Amino acid sequence: MISFIGRSIVQKIITLFFVSIVSFLIIHLAPGEPSQVDPMNPKFTREMVERFREEFHLDKPLYRQYLYFYRDLFSGKTISWKDNQPAFKKIWERFLNSLPLFIVGTILTWTISFPVGIRSAIFRGGIYDRSATFFSYLLISIPGFFFAYILIMFVVNQFHVPVIGMETFGIGETSGFNRIMDRIWHLLLPSLLGATAGIAVLSRFVRSQMLEVEGQDYVRTAKAKGLAPDQVHYKHALRNALLPFVTMFGLILPGLIGGSVIIESIFAWPGMGRMAYEAILARDYPIILTLNFVSAVLVLIGTFISDLLYMVVDPRIRL
Amino acid sequence: MTTKRILILAPLVLTVILLQSYLWVPTYEEQAKGNPQRLHQYINASIGDAAILNPILSADSASSEITDKVFEGLIDRDEELRFRGRLAASWDISEEAFFYVNAATDVPGLDQVSPRAIIDLIQAARNQKARFSAELQKTLDNIVTVSLVSARTERVTEQIRDPSDDQKTQKIDITISAPARIKLYLKTVDQDLFVHLSQILGKNYFNSFDGAKFLVTTPAVGTDQLNALVQKFLPAVEHNPIIEFQLRPDVKFHDGHSVDAHDVKFTYDAIMHPRNLSPRVSSYEPVKEVLVIDPLTVRVIYKRLYSPAIGSWAMGILPEHLLNDAALKKEALALGKDLQSFSMRQSGFNRHPIGCGPFVFREWVSDQYIFLDRFDEYWEGPPHYEKYVFRVIPDLLTQEMEFYAGTIDSYGVQPHQVKRLKDDPNFQSFSGTSLGFSYIGYNVRRKPFGDRRVRQALSMAIDVNKIIEYVLYNQGERITGPFPKQTDFYNPSIEPVPYDPEGALKLLAEAGWNRNDQGWLEKNGQRLQFKLITNNGNDIRKAILAIAQDSWKQIGIDVRTDLVEWAVFIQERVNKLDFDALVLGWSMGIDPDLYQIWHSSQTGYNQLNFVGFANNEADDLIIKIRQEYNHAQLVEYCHRLHDIIANEQPYTFLFVSRWTAILDKRIVIKEFDDQANIAYRKITPTKTGNYTFHFNKWIKLAQAPEFAP
C-alpha cells in the first residue's frame, strides 16, 4: 500500500513535468499574440511592441520562457498580463464563485440520476423506462445554450424574477437570510443546466450497470431465497453496481477548475470558465498556463484518489 | 428499506430547498418601481469587464468607458467635433522655428553671410513687405521676433543599432560643433515658413546646409547612420510648435487635492516612463518637453510639426500626489514588494482610481459590476444622476432580457433587430454611423492589380447596395474614401462607384482583358485569376467573400476564396504581404492622420499599408496633413487626398456600418431656464450622432413625459 502510494506519486510528478512542457509548447506555438503586442493596432509602434515583448520575456528562446514562467509560478509571483493582478489571487476568487455552481450541480446530478436509473432498470421496457430513455436522449442532444435561453425566457416572462448573475443586482442592502435565499435562487437555473447533461448520461449508466448486475447468479439466488424485491434490488444488486461509480467520483475533481464557459457567459456568472475563455482570447499566457497546471494537478490527484477509493471498496483489489 | 427511502427523499428535499428560494426573490417590478433610488442610477451593460482603470495604461474600450467618467483631460471634442476646453480654460498654439546659418552658400544681396546680416535681412524684409508675393507677406506678418542662438559645442553619447546585426547596439561618441542658429518666434504654426523664406535667402539656402561637416563621431559610422545622426542633432531647419494651456482654477481631484500644472506634467512623464509601458507613448513621442510656467500654465513644446498631437491632451490627468515616486515607494513598502520592480502598473490605484471627472469611483467587483458616485464638486456642476453603474453581462441575449426588465438602461440593438425595435413606442432610439469601414484591398504589387483600370472594374462589378441590404439588414452606408464619414475631412462630393458590370467589362477590355469562348477573361492566353481571402469567424466578411466571388465570376473572373484563422491571417498573410486580395475593415479615430495606412513608406513587412499603395501626390498630402494646424486648410488637403485615393481604388470601399441604441423612454435631459425653472427636454443626438454627449444632464423620470412634437 505504502509502496503503491510512493510509486504512484513519483509517476504522477513525471507525468506532470511532461504535461507542463507540452501545454507550454502548445500555447506558445499556437498562432496569435497577446493583445498587448497586437501587431494590427496602428497605435502600437514597433518600439513599444518590443518593450512589451521584453517585459513579458517574449523575446527570449522558448526554454528560457518556460523556466521563467515556472520559476514565477512556484514562487507565486505570476501576474496576469491583462490587469497585473496576481494569477493565483484571480484564480482563487473565480474558483470561489464557481464552487457553489459546481457543488449544487454535482449534488443534483448524483442524487437525481440514481433513483431515475435504478427504477428504469427494475422496470425495464416499461412505459417509465421508455419515457426516461426518451428524455435522457432529448437532454443529451439539446444544445446547452439553446436550452438555457428557453429556460431564461420562460422564467423571466412567467415569474418576472431576475435569474442573471450570482445575486439580484442591487440587493446589497437587504437582510442576511433574504440574501442567502436570493443566492440559492440564482444558483438554481445555471446549476440545473449544468447538471442536465450529467443527469441524462449518468442515469443511463446507472441503468445499464444495474441491468448487468441484476442478471448475475447471486441476484437470482437472492430472489430465489425469497427476499423482498427491495432487499434484492437495493442491497444485493445496487451495492455491486456502485463499484464503477467510485472511480468516476475521483474524476469529478478536475471539473472543479473547468467551470462552464457557455453557462457562465449566458448567466453573467463571474466564474472560472469565463475567465479561462477570456484569457485564451487575449492570449494571457500566465493565466492560461497557471490554470492548465492547476487542472493537471487536480486530474492527477483525482485519479490517485479514485485508485485509493477502489481499493477501499473492492476487497478483490490489492495492490 | 432505508436505502430506497434515502434515494428518493434526497433529490426531493434538494429540489424543494432550491425551488422555495423563488419566494424570497424580489420581482423585476419591485426592483424597478418599489425602489425610488433606481431613478437616480444609470445602469449600463458591457460584454467585457474593464482591465485597468488608469487612463494612461488602459487600451480596452470597457476600461475607457469608466476612466472617461472618473478622469478628465485638458480638452475634448464638442458637438461639432471641434476641440473645447475642459481642465484647460483656454490654449494658444504658436511656434518657434530654427535654422542654421549656412555660410557655404551665397545669399542674394549679401556680401558676407554672417548671422547678424541674415537677421537684418529678414528684419528689413519685414519692414518693406510690399515687394514680395502675397504668401511671403503672410509668412513675414506671422513672425513676431527674430533672434540669434550662438554657436555651440557639445559632446554626447548615443546608442545606435549595428547595421549588420539588428539585435546589437553600438555606443558612439559624438562631438558637435554647431554654427549659430536663427530663431524665429511665430504667432501661428506655418509649415511653409522655410519654403517662403527661401524667396529671400536663396533657393538652396536651406537644403544646401551640410550638417555632417559639424559633427564628428568616434568610431566612424556608415553614411546612412551618419545621416540619421545629422537629422537628429543638426537638422538644417526645425519647427517647434508650442501649445500653452491655461488651466481652470479651483478644479479638485476627488480627494480634495487641487489640480495644477504639475499634474499635467506628471501625467506626461508617467506616459513616457519606460517602466510604465504605456500604450499611448506614440501619441506623445513628438513632444520635446512639457514646462510648468506657473501652477495654472503649462507649455508643451514639440520636436516637429505634428498636428494630431493636440488631440492627445484629451487624456485623463492623473493626480501626482498619489502616484509619484514617493507615493509608489510607500505603497511598495506597505505591500512588501520589491522597490525596484514596483511601478505604476502594479499600483492599487489602477483598481481604485481617483481623478477629477464627473464621477467618483466607489467599487469594482471583477466581472460583475463597477459602481461610480457622482462628484458633487465637479467644476461644471455635478451630473444629475447620483450613480453610474457598469454591469458586465457577456451575453447579448441576456442583456436584451435585462433591458426589457428595466435593470439596464440602454441596449445596443443588433442589425437584424433594428426593424423591430427602432420604432417601438416603448423606447427612444438613436442611430448613427460608426467610425471605421469595411473594404476589399488589392495587393497592387501583384498582377493584375497594378493596373488602376482593373481595380476600378472590380469595384464596379460588385453591387454594394445589395450587400448593405441583405448582409447588413440596411444598417450600413456607402463610403468612398478613408476618412470617417461624420467628419469634415470626408469629401461628400465624391460619388460611390456605381454598380455597372458592363462598364467594368469595358474597362477590363481597355486593360487588355477579353472574354474567351468559355466566358473567362483572358490576356495573352492567361486567365484573370486570383484568390480573395478573409479571416474566419466574421460572418459579415464571409458573406462579402461569397458575394464578391459570385459578382466577379459573372463577368468572367476566376476567383478562389479562402477563410483563414485570424492570427494566421495577420501573421502569415497580411504581415508577410502574401495575398492577392482580402476583405478587412479599419476602425479609426477622428484624426485625419493617414500616414501608417496610406503612406508609401509604410508598405514593408509588418506595416499597415499592406496593399502597397504609393502615389507621390498622396504622400505629399499625407505629410502636409500631419503638419497642418489650420482646420480649413486641413479640410482642403483631406478632400484632395480622398479624391486621389477614391480614384486610384487600391481598396473597394464597401460600407460603414450603422449602430442603433435604444434607451428607456423615461430618460430625458433636465435643464434650468433663465428663471431657474426646471425644464425637461428630449435627448437629441449631436450632429455626429453622439447621443450621450449631454450625459451629465440626463435624469430618469418616474413617468415618460410627453413632448410637443
Q: What is the DSSP string of B315-332?
A: SPPPPHHHHSHHHHHHHH
Distance between CA atoms of residues B145 and B195, nearest Å: 19
Cell numbers placing B226: 551618419
Cell numbers placing B251: 478644479
pLDDT level of residue B89 (50, 70, 90 thresholds): very high
Distance between CA atoms of residues A158 and A150, nearest Å: 12
Alpha-helical runs (H) found in B188-304: 193-201, 223-233, 261-272, 281-284
> Residues 80..139 of A with a Cβ closer than 8 Å to B: which?
82-84, 90, 93-94, 104, 107-108, 111-112, 114-115, 118
Residue A252 sits in a domain whose CATH number is 1.10.3720.10
A207 domain-assigned: yes
Asked if B575 is an interface residue toward chain A (Cβ–Cβ < 8 A), one would say yes
CB-CB contact of B541 with B438 (8 Å): yes
What local confidence, expressed as pLDDT, does residue B217 receive?
Answer: 83
Per DSSP, A283 falls in state T
A49 domain-assigned: no
- Chain A closest-CA separation from residue B395 CA (Å): 5
Contact A161 B28 (CB under 8 A): yes
Q: Could you say which of B7, B281, B345 has the minimum Cβ distance to residue A48?
A: B281
3-state secondary structure of B506: helix
Q: Of residues B509 and A310, which shows the higher confidence score?
A: B509
Distance between CA atoms of residues A144 and B510, nearest Å: 57
CB-defined contacts A:B, below 8 A = 175
3-state secondary structure of A31: coil
> Which element (helix H / strand E) includes A256?
helix A255-258
- Chain B closest-CA separation from residue A192 CA (Å): 10
A87 domain-assigned: no
A5 domain-assigned: no
Asked if A281 is an interface residue toward chain B (Cβ–Cβ < 8 A), one would say no
In which order are the strands placed within the sheet that holds B387-392? B41-46, B387-392, B369-374, B359-365
Q: Could you say which of A43, A188, A268 has the minimum Cβ distance to residue B392?
A: A268
What chain B residue is nearest to A166 in terms of C-alpha separation?
B368
- Chain A closest-CA separation from residue B25 CA (Å): 5
Alpha-helical runs (H) found in B143-260: 193-201, 223-233
Contact B26 A168 (CB under 8 A): yes
Exposure b/e, B34-64, CB count within 10 A at least 16 = b: eeeebbebbbbbbebbbbbbbbbbbbbebbb
- Residues 6 or more apart whose CB falls under 8 angstroms from that of B255 comprise B319, B322, B354
Domain of A232, in residue numbers? 92-276
For strands B529-535 and B558-564, give the pairing. parallel
Predicted model pTM: 0.85
3-state secondary structure of A147: helix
Bridge partner list, B175: B155, B216
Sign of the dihedral through C-alpha A125, A131, A136, A140: positive
**A23-46 per-position pLDDT tens digit:** 999 988 887 777 766 655 656 666
Chain A environment of B315 (Cβ under 8 Å): none
Burial class (CB in 10 A: 0-12, 13-18, 19+), B441: buried
3-state helix, strand, coil in chain B (%, to 5): 35, 25, 40
3-state helix, strand, coil in chain A (%, to 5): 75, 0, 25
Asked if A75 is an interface residue toward chain B (Cβ–Cβ < 8 A), one would say no
Contact A185 B3 (CB under 8 A): no
pLDDT level of residue A211 (50, 70, 90 thresholds): very high
What local confidence, expressed as pLDDT, does residue A182 receive?
Answer: 87
A127 domain-assigned: yes
Average confidence (pLDDT) over B552-579? 89
Distance between CA atoms of residues B15 and A174, nearest Å: 25
Cell numbers placing B538: 466574421
What chain B residue is nearest to A158 in terms of C-alpha separation?
B27
Average confidence (pLDDT) over B510-533? 91
A50 domain-assigned: no
Cell numbers placing A135: 428524455
- Residue B589, CA distances (Å) to A56, B419, B484, B486 in order: 29, 29, 8, 11
Q: Which among B407, B410, B426 has a CA at the least distance from the CA of B33?
A: B407
> Residues 270..309 of B with a Cβ closer than 8 Å to A: which?
274, 277, 279-283, 285
Q: Which among B98, B606, B510, B74 has a CA at the least distance from the CA of B313?
A: B74
Residue labelled with grid coordinates 484647460: B88
**A215-272 per-position pLDDT tens digit:** 889 999 998 988 888 888 888 888 888 888 877 777 777 777 666 788 888 898 988 8
Give the whole-number percent of chain A exceeding pLDDT 70.
92
pLDDT level of residue B61 (50, 70, 90 thresholds): confident
What local confidence, expressed as pLDDT, does residue B462 receive?
Answer: 94
Asked if B366 is an interface residue toward chain A (Cβ–Cβ < 8 A), one would say yes
Chosen for mutation from B398, B404, B610, B622 (greatest number of chain A CBs closer than 10 Å) is B398
Q: What is the dihedral of CA B17, B19, B21, B27, to 10 degrees?
A: 180
Q: Could you say which of B282, B398, B574 has the minimum Cβ distance to residue A164?
A: B398
3-state secondary structure of A118: helix
Q: Which among B229, B58, B65, B101 has a CA at the least distance from the CA of B160?
A: B229
ipTM associated with this complex: 0.81
- Overall domain count for chain A: 1
Per DSSP, B112 falls in state S
What local confidence, expressed as pLDDT, does residue B174 receive?
Answer: 87
What chain B residue is nearest to A86 in terms of C-alpha separation?
B346
Asked if A161 is an interface residue toward chain B (Cβ–Cβ < 8 A), one would say yes
What local confidence, expressed as pLDDT, does residue A45 receive?
Answer: 66
The residue count for chain A:
319
Q: What is the mean pLDDT of chain B?
A: 89
- Chain B closest-CA separation from residue A303 CA (Å): 27
Contact B394 A55 (CB under 8 A): no
Tell me the backbone φ, ψ of residue B237, rounded to 5 degrees: -130, 155
pLDDT level of residue A82 (50, 70, 90 thresholds): confident
Give the whole-number percent of chain B exceeding pLDDT 90.
50
Cell numbers placing B381: 456642476
3-state secondary structure of B541: helix
- Chain A closest-CA separation from residue B538 CA (Å): 15
Residue B626 has pLDDT above 80, yes or no: yes
> Which element (helix H / strand E) includes B450?
none
What chain A residue is nearest to B8 in terms of C-alpha separation?
A115
A212 domain-assigned: yes
A183 domain-assigned: yes
**B268-281 per-position pLDDT tens digit:** 999 999 888 888 88
- Residue A229, CA distances (Å) to A112, A130, A221, B453 in order: 22, 22, 12, 88
Q: What is the dihedral of CA B387, B393, B397, B400, to 10 degrees?
A: 0
**B489-513 per-position pLDDT tens digit:** 999 999 999 999 999 999 999 999 9
Chain B environment of A108 (Cβ under 8 Å): 11, 14
- Residues 6 or more apart whose CB falls under 8 angstroms from that of B352 comprise B53, B361, B364
Per DSSP, B249 falls in state T
> Which element (helix H / strand E) includes B131?
none
- Residues 6 or more apart whose CB falls under 8 angstroms from that of B437 comprise B479, B482, B585, B586, B588, B653, B654, B655, B656
- Residue B510, CA distances (Å) to A147, B554, B559 in order: 59, 19, 21
Per DSSP, A265 falls in state H
Asked if B429 is an interface residue toward chain A (Cβ–Cβ < 8 A), one would say no
Chain A environment of B67 (Cβ under 8 Å): none
What local confidence, expressed as pLDDT, does residue B31 receive?
Answer: 67
For strands B427-433 and B558-564, give the pairing. unpaired
- Chain B closest-CA separation from residue A316 CA (Å): 24
Q: Could you say which of A162, A234, A267 has the minimum Cβ distance to residue B405?
A: A162
